[in-house]
Chains A and B, each alone.
Chain A
């Protein structure tokens, strides 16, 4: 990549033109369709996006207007983003699995007149809330299927829009007009509005500008040494800042190829076929992958199982040191080399990681064991920390200095500080320009001297200078006796047990810590199979006494580790229960990015919370659940509660 070539282009459409010139014949995008990977080069993408932009303009889309983008990772939806930006319009991506209500909120708040959607499902969803969207005029859709008989006065297939634009572009005057439109785009114009998933309630529209987005993406692309030869799999939700940053923005900045999976369910198989060189996965996904591998290893033959466990042991001993470039005895190197040949290589191949140069993870704390596992088999997995308001990156772990419990030092050009009350604050190149139509909230998160408050509590590690994040600043509470209570810390530690999928800890302004636990159906189901535990449903398995015994052991182990820490010994878990249903984003219990909404869960399961703290042995609960199509049903259950022994505080304190 020509150094600083990106610097001259301050908007994404200008970058697209640059890429078409520099890398015209290189692949820009791939998509698996009807079982075959289709490829578009940068030149082809530019041609399509230009035609699409003209087509959208003919439908009435103009500079400064917003257009909703609803659906999965499909080339045409990414092109919708590009085409809108070409016209100076502002794309507003929405999570594909958002329920109608959330969708209505975002579209109404962003005042979109236009929507580019994936298929009939999304069209139906928007139509179901159209009373709340008086401004919405035109919908364009990608997948024609099932939409033939719909009233097409407000509905157009994207292919037709592109074809019309292409026809119009044959006129040199139209082409010149479009060139002028692109040139008129300024770097300071809003380039996209990303609605936060709303861990704390209704979502806010975070406005990004083109120049800031590009500046941030250029910095990190340089940091991770990305080039136009890299390949990424675009499987993260389109509306999440991570996808827009890691895939869309970085791909345009360095010109690498973005591959769209066949469908959300095939992403992991497609990963294997594409063999990306740059890969992001939230800890949860990495954990699910590992759980699957481990379960399959349990079913493998004796010899294979032995070999696997032996070499994983070797990797644990030497793998990370080799990756970090530290000294390792020759026998260690030889054994590791053999392991690579017999176990790690094939394993990485099965997972689709064979070609990965840079693997990133973020979003929540990652278990040290999990993190070490991937690094030990030679995957260069690194953590970073960031948020939507910063256009993602604030800190990132540099090669060679990686610690599982820190998120690395500040990224280039990022100014980080810890406020007096322990909150992390930043100034960064990719900083947002404000919340859409919400001056008050924007002012809320800004300090008078121009820093943004992250709302996260953290500190710089004394030895390494790397940032450590403990919890959301406002979530760190205290028990009635004054003991520090960081709920997220406890939950994350519990979630490191493969059998525990989700945990919600309570304790702020209470006498003791109590926890609600979700079991992991894959792991516990497999355990049940091996131990002849018979169950008919999730609910039955969750309430099984043997499952309770197993979880009790985990909680006891957790208590031991809490007891070892002087500050947290009082925050040991006194009581726990296993929830009868999985926490679900459709019910609003977790966000679309899989973060627990602790307060909401407390309200929803109020009878259980009460029982946790009044000493009862079991409690009845009935909860309303929302099915994927929006219908509602009720689940009733009687949930048991277990008491835990707490461990004594460390000896020196007692003495």
Chain B
């Protein structure tokens, strides 16, 4: 049986570390001097009150934002900033806080889009359709079908994403990220706006992804119950500053965290 809370995958070496990262927009410091690391195989949560810099941090990790300061080390390679294509080629996939799918395309096509980095045949072959490009597509489709089965979304395979309820759109988005076969999966509020049942389903999928594919996961989440149940380690940000880092239990009892969430009398 699964031990309550966290991943069972053997947690290994550091996969990604950020050191002294700072990011500001004009005069606003989104992230200041934050350092933490993500180990191979773990589920790492980034939490904090609204505007704490969580999404900014995620955007720095996958190269969406370029930090003014600091270093990012991913799979042993240190950079001052990550670029989105480096992140994608290096095996970082993500989902977004507001679902970012092609709304007019079917779930299947959206997930297939996640495979595009892995398709090697040039435009000539793709236009021809038959021959090697076809063989390649069949192979990728097989992988996508596995993901569809994994996420139990067979019934919406052919449904345009725009017609799906929000919870399912989130699931399709997770599917697209998985189609990249990432080593590190970044989830930006995977359960936001979901009801209890959808949250439980999603939690199970997150654990299953970690368990089945051995994927390292970093997630941002507001629901404390979910965070405590899922994650191995939690880093807490407040106003762009790291105020705590540790296991869910350690973090839960940390006075700085309690103050940040409940507010303190000044």
By a beta-carbon cutoff of 8 Å, the part of chain A in contact with chain B is 33-36, 127, 145-146, 148-151, 262-263, 265-266, 269, 627-629, 631
Contact = CB atoms under 8 A, between A and B. Distances in A.
B211 A149 contact: yes
Contacts of A262: 154
B200 A35 contact: no
Interface in B145-201: 145-146, 148-150, 152, 154-155, 157-158, 196-197, 200
Given A146-B211, A150-B1, A628-B197, A34 B142 contact: yes
B218 to A, nearest CB: 22
B208 A145 contact: yes
A305 B2 CA distance: 55
Nearest to A265: B155
Contacts of A263: 152, 154-155
15 contacts: A34-B146, A34-B149, A35-B148, A36-B145, A145-B208, A146-B208, A146-B211, A148-B212, A149-B2, A262-B154, A263-B155, A265-B155, A266-B154, A269-B155, A627-B197
A627 B152 contact: no
Nearest to B149: A34
A127 B2 CA distance: 13
A35 B142 CA distance: 9
A401 B1 CA distance: 59
A629 B197 contact: yes
A36 B2 CA distance: 32
Given A149-B211, A627-B196, A35 B152 contact: no
Say which size band chain B's interface belongs to: 20 to 34
Given A35-B148, A148-B212, A629-B200, 10 more contacts: A34-B145, A35-B154, A146-B204, A149-B1, A149-B8, A150-B2, A266-B154, A266-B155, A628-B197, A629-B197
B197 to A, nearest CB: 6
A166 to B, nearest CB: 25
A260 to B, nearest CB: 13
Contacts of B8: 149
Contacts of B212: 145-146, 148
Nearest to B148: A35
A34 B139 CA distance: 13
Nearest to B152: A263
Contacts of A148: 211-212
B200 to A, nearest CB: 6
Nearest to A631: B196
B157 A35 contact: yes
A36 B138 CA distance: 12
B154 A265 contact: yes
Q: Give the 5 A-B residue pairs with the shortest CB-CB distance, closest first.
A: A265-B155, A34-B145, A35-B145, A266-B155, A262-B154
B1 A145 contact: no
Interface in B98-144: 141-142
A37 to B, nearest CB: 12
Interface of B: 1-2, 8, 141-142, 145-146, 148-150, 152, 154-155, 157-158, 196-197, 200, 204, 208, 211-212
Given A34-B145, A145-B208, A629-B200, A151 B152 contact: no
Nearest to A123: B1
A474 to B, nearest CB: 37
A627 B199 CA distance: 13
Nearest to A150: B1
A523 B40 CA distance: 50
Contacts of B1: 127, 149-151
Nearest to B212: A145
A36 B196 CA distance: 33
A145 B2 CA distance: 13
A33 B148 CA distance: 11
A145 B150 contact: yes
B106 to A, nearest CB: 13
Contacts of B150: 145
B223 to A, nearest CB: 15
Contacts of A127: 1
Contacts of A631: 196
A243 to B, nearest CB: 20
Contacts of A628: 197
Contacts of A36: 145
A33 B204 CA distance: 22
Nearest to B155: A265
Contacts of B200: 629
Nearest to A267: B155
Most central of B8, B146, B211 by chain A CB within 10 Å: B211
A586 B94 CA distance: 36
Nearest to B196: A627
A482 to B, nearest CB: 49
B66 to A, nearest CB: 39
Contacts of A149: 1-2, 8, 211
Nearest to A34: B145
Contacts of B158: 269
A269 B106 CA distance: 15
A151 B1 CA distance: 6
A262 B157 CA distance: 12
B225 to A, nearest CB: 13
A265 B211 CA distance: 26
Nearest to B200: A629
A127 B148 CA distance: 27
Nearest to A261: B154
A157 to B, nearest CB: 15
Contacts of A269: 155, 158
Contacts of A627: 196-197
Contacts of B211: 146, 148-149
A130 to B, nearest CB: 11
Contacts of B145: 34-36
A262 B200 CA distance: 23
Contacts of A146: 204, 208, 211-212
A409 B39 CA distance: 72
A36 B157 CA distance: 13
A374 to B, nearest CB: 24
Nearest to B208: A146
Most central of B2, B145, B157, B197 by chain A CB within 10 Å: B2
A587 B125 CA distance: 57
Nearest to A146: B208
Contacts of B148: 34-35
Nearest to A124: B1
Nearest to A36: B145
Nearest to A148: B211
B188 to A, nearest CB: 24
Contacts of B146: 34
A275 to B, nearest CB: 18
Contacts of A266: 154-155
A150 B157 CA distance: 31
Contacts of B197: 627-629
